[in-house]
Each structure stands twice: as C-alpha cells, then as structure tokens.
Amino acid sequence: MAEEEKKLPDTAENLEADKAKINKKDKKEEKSLKKEKEEKTSKSEEKSSSPKKGKKGGVTDKTKYEYIIKNKKVDQQAKKRRLVWVLIVFLIVAFAIAGIIWAVLSFIEYNNFRILISREGNNVLSLAYLEDFSDATEQIQVVGPKHMDNISFFEIQKKIEEEFSVNTGAHSTKEDNFICSTFYLKNVTDKSESFTISEEMVILSATQNIDAAIRVLVIRDGVYEFYAKAKDDGTAEEAVPTKNFTYRDLYGDDYEGENAEEVVMTTPFASEQDIISETDLILEPGEAIKYTFVIWLEGWDDDTINSVLGGKIKIDFNFGLLR
C-alpha cells in the first residue's frame, strides 16, 4: 500500500505532462491546418483571377473566343473610321470641284453672248465671221466684258461705224465696255425655193432690273434698228434719251431721208423675255445677210441707276426655219 501511494504523484505529474504535450501537439496541428487552409485559399484566389489554362498551358476556348471577338470589333471600328475619313475627303474634293465648275459656268453664262442656229434650221442656215463662209458654223460665242459700266451711244458710235460694222469678224473683247460682233447669216441650200427665217433675241436671265437699262442695236445690211424696254406707260424710249439724236446724226450729214430730222426711237422689247421676235425674214438660196449687233448700258437712260450696276444678263440670238 505504501508503494502504491508513493507512485500516485508520479502518475499525476505524468498525466499533466502528457496532457501538455497533447495540447502542444494539437495547437501545432491546428496551426499547420490553418496555414494549409490559408495557402489553399490563396491559391484558389490566384486561380480564379488568372485565365484558365488547358492541358498544354494555353488559354481556355472561352477566353480565346472572347479575345478573337474583341479584336474583330476593334478592326471593324478602325475600318469604319477609315471609311468615314475617306467619305469626308471625297465630299471636300467634290464640293471644291463643284465650286470651280460653278464659277466657270457663271462666268460663261453672264459675260458672253451666244448666236446660234436652231435645230430645224441646221441643214438650211449657217453662221460665219468671214464673208466666204470658210469658217461656217452653227454657233458663235461672243466674249463680253468682265464688268460693263454705263456709257452712251455717242461714245461707241464711231468705233462701230469704222471698225465693228466694217471689219469682217470684228467682235468685242473683255476690255470693251459693251458687247459687239459682226457676222453673216446665209441660206446654204441650192434649192430654188426661198425660206422664211425666224429671228429671236431672248433674255434667258436678268438681275437687278438691268434689262430696263440696256440698249440693243442690230444693223442688218447697213440698216440700224435700236431696241429697249418700253417705259412704264408703254411708250417707246428714245435711242439716246434727252439728246435729240436724229437719223441724220445716225447716218451722217449726207443723209437726206424723209426722217432725217426725226428723233431716233427704239423698238420696244417684243415681250418680257424677247428683245426681238421677227418671223418675216426671207432668205433666197445662197443669199446672206450681214449682221452687227451691239449691247450696252445707256448712261442717259433714267433706268440706268446705281442699283442696276453689277446686274447680270444672259442673252441668246437664235435663227430658225419657219418653212
């Protein structure tokens, strides 16, 4: 009994020591388990944040397709941007070319005068600058001045008589302050019958009421005829207003016609659009008529005021066949 009692304390101490060892071991295992758990958690997070890999280390099919689609979208957007820039450049160039064409056409439209044969008269009538018709044509383009200021017939009368109505093919230039040309119209057929010719001078467009201030002179084989828009009351204008310009002043001091002392009057425009509309001109086969026409802004006309300066007008002189 004494020996058993003596061994009890040793056994108790041993138990305590074993218990301490067990607790220490448990804590160590617990700590180890916790560390393993943390490592697993960390690895799991890394895997979830990085692209998944296939068996050979490449990206998964899903990620690969997303990458391809994204790149295709980028390419499409780049192509669209390039296309937009190409269209912008094209439109800029197109507008620039259109502007140049418009400027050229505007210059031709408002600073030139056309004389032409209508379609039905093409095989019967011909125009020419030269009397022998070696330069025969169906259309003549007369160059006008870039800017036409007001002048009086007195200022150009001598030039018309001594140069434009005499010299074959004479016509105005950009330096002149009026539009003028001399040409021939001929019946080029060899048939025995004569033809009735229409003669029309048409205002195609006019701005700033400039048509009320212009004067048109047509000389047919030496015979003068002036045209102007009628006054507001419908009466005719004088050829040179307020100057008592007579037919003797027009044809010269040697002129002894019955109307020698009469004031030269204009023939009113045929209508709002037509300056001349004649349908009784007869041309025999081979017959030719010499024309000289002059267009200017008459400075003595009451309608020639500052507001018409800078106005523009387009006129065609047409010859057609009636029968």
Q: What is the pLDDT of residues 109-130, one digit of tens each?
A: 444 678 999 887 778 899 998 8
Q: How high is the mean pLDDT of the chain?
A: 77
Do 288 and 154 contact (CB within 8 A), yes or no?
Answer: no
Token pair in block for residue 4: 């058993």
Which range of residues forms the domain containing residue 128?
A: 113-321
Do 121 and 197 contact (CB within 8 A), yes or no?
Answer: yes
pTM comes to: 0.63
Instruction: State the CB neighbour count (10 A cutoff) for residue 99.
Output: 10
CA 125/CA 187 separation, integer angstroms: 5
Any domain includes 200: yes
Any domain includes 313: yes
Any domain includes 233: yes
What pairs with residue 317 in β-bridges? 115, 201
Amino acid identity at 265: M
Give me the sign of the Cα torsion angle 275, 281, 283, 289: negative
Residue 248 clears pLDDT 50, i.e. is over it:
yes
Give me the sign of the Cα torsion angle 185, 298, 225, 245: negative
Any domain includes 131: yes
Residue 132 clears pLDDT 50, i.e. is over it:
yes
Note the pLDDT of residue 104.
42
Any domain includes 302: yes
Q: Decide: helix, strand or coil at residue 54.
A: coil
Domains in the chain: how many in total?
A: 1
Any domain includes 173: yes
Note the pLDDT of residue 80.
80
Calculate the alpha carbon distances from 280 to 198, 200, 319 in Å. 7, 11, 12
Any domain includes 47: no
CA triple 313-318-320, angle to 5 deg? 160
- Among 172, 205, 181, smallest CA distance to 311 is for 205
Any domain includes 55: no
For 259-301, write each residue's pLDDT tens digit. 999 999 999 999 989 999 998 888 888 899 999 989 888 877 6
Q: How confident is the model at residue 163 (pLDDT cuts 50, 70, 90)?
A: confident
Q: What dihedral do alpha carbons 234, 214, 204, 311 form, nearest 10°?
A: -120
